Amino acid sequence: MSRLLDCLLVAIGGALGSFFRYVLSITLHLEVASTLVVNIFGSFLLGFITIYLNEPEQRWRKLMIGTGFCGGFTTMSTFSLDVTKLPVNLAISYMIATICGGIAVAFSGMIVAVRLNARNSND
């Protein structure tokens, strides 16, 4: 039963992530820019969630938000397709911004979570 519940949590999170990604993309009206924003924000959120929700009783939140929501919200396939639509110089810049920016904000999210966890444990 636990695996079924885990799958359900991931599915709910993924549906919500996909929904919010679509809403953001139609709100921004810029295909490539919205994918970049989504992937950067999702990288930060996943980095944060990975560290902040580290207690065993928070596993369900980590599955729903980290695996589900972030998995549905961010999109490697759209990023890859966007790269093929751009001129070479912009494609290279876009790839560097997405990959390096994503890694940098993931680490930033982890740092924020470590500091919040430290502050919460001192209270």
According to the annotation, is 17 in a ligand binding site? no
- Strand, helix or coil for residue 101: helix
Q: Distance of alpha carbon 44 from its chain centroid, rounded? A: 6
According to the annotation, is 71 in a ligand binding site? yes
Phi-psi region of 29 (alpha: psi -120 to 50; beta: other; left: phi over 0): left
Crossing angle for the helix pair 88-122 and 31-52, to the nearest 10 degrees: 30
Bind-site residues for Na(+): 71, 74
Bind-site residues: 71, 74
